[in-house]
Amino acid sequence: MNEFYSIGEEGRDLENSYQLKNLGSQKISMIVGKRVRGDWGESDTYQSDRLYAKTTNEDYDRSFAHKIAKTKPPYEIGNLLDYHLGYYVNQNNGTKEKFIKHIKYVIMPLISKQQDKEVYLQLLNEWLAENQDNINYRKDNIIKTIQFGDINAPTQIQVDSSHSQQTQSITYSKEDISELFSLIRADLEYVRSDFKEDLKNEIENAIRYLERGKDIKSRLLTIGSLVKDIGINVFANLIASPIFELLKPALGII
């Protein structure tokens, strides 16, 4: 399957609305029909045969382009792109630079072939420009990766230079996640937003996956994206807690 996208398991419900549907190992490439003459005065009938071809990476590219072009409202495509970018970087160890190139040189040409998609192309260009700026900034700084084990308090480390930048890979526990979700839920009681129910549902799904021992990295990124959509400043209990500082990277909040 295509490395750039979070793709659901075959025959199972998608984890969320951002995931791509699993296309299976084969697709119908052609349906060939023919007329069959009836015997003993019976009318002619038609028979059709289906020819199959192996599903390719390009099929998933077309599926992703279609998903972008059908997103309503159009400005929500930023969340869709952020979700798959987070999956590609965090789950497949890809780079942001490569994902951006894929969107620019593979996905955008596919969308440009469709009619009345100018708004989507404009939004894609804006997303690319914003994320390209972030990449350029990172290249101008020294990037240090620090691996943490069990941490129960926020930690800040400065390495080498006043211009250096650190990225953190943090190991967290179920207790950390439970505390995080409790804080978000408490703040949500005072929030009025169209994304409120979406955030509640994502938290419930993440809890179920956590209880089953499944990886919830992509779900945490989705939750972080919804928190940003609502507005981080309204989550007073959350941002005042040390656990928020610890899990900001896992939420995709910088």
pLDDT of 182-201, one tens digit each? 999 888 888 888 888 889 99
Select, from the ranges 36-40, 64-68, 155-159, 192-196, the one with the highest average predicted confidence (pLDDT).
Answer: 64-68
Per-residue pLDDT tens digits for 109-147: 999 998 889 999 999 999 999 888 665 544 544 333 434
Dihedral sign, Cα of residue 108, residue 109, residue 114, residue 119: positive
Q: Residue 2 pLDDT more than 60? A: yes
The predicted pLDDT at position 147 comes to 42
Crossing angle of helices 118-139 and 57-69, in 10° steps, is: 110
Q: Using one digit for the tens of pLDDT, what is the confidence trace for 79-95? A: 999 999 999 998 888 99
Helix (H, G, I), strand (E, B) or coil at 39: coil
> What's the pLDDT score for residue 40?
59
Q: Is residue 32's pLDDT more than 60?
A: no
**Given a cut of 60, is residue 58 above it in pLDDT?**
yes
Instruction: Report which residue type is found at 232.
Output: I
% of the chain surpassing 70 pLDDT: 74
The encoded tokens of residue 173 equal: 């526990």
- Give 237: exposed, middle or buried? Use CB within 10 Å, 0-12, 13-18, 19+: middle
- The residue-averaged pLDDT of 39-60 equals 70
Q: Is the peptide bond before 109 cis (omega within 30 degrees of 0)?
A: no
**b/e sequence 96-128, b meaning 16+ C-beta within 10 Å:** beebbebbeebbbebbeeeeebeebeebbeebb
Q: Is the pLDDT of residue 236 over 60?
A: yes
**What's residue 151's pLDDT?**
38
Lowest-confidence region among 39-53, 122-136, 222-236? 39-53
Q: Which of 19-23, 164-168, 206-210 has the highest mean predicted lDDT (pLDDT)?
A: 19-23
Q: Enumerate the H helices of 113-252 as residue ranges.
A: 118-139, 174-188, 196-211, 217-230, 236-239, 242-251
Mean pLDDT of the chain: 79
Q: Which range in 95-99, 160-164, 240-244 is most confidently predicted, on average pLDDT? A: 95-99
Q: What is the pLDDT of residue 168?
A: 43
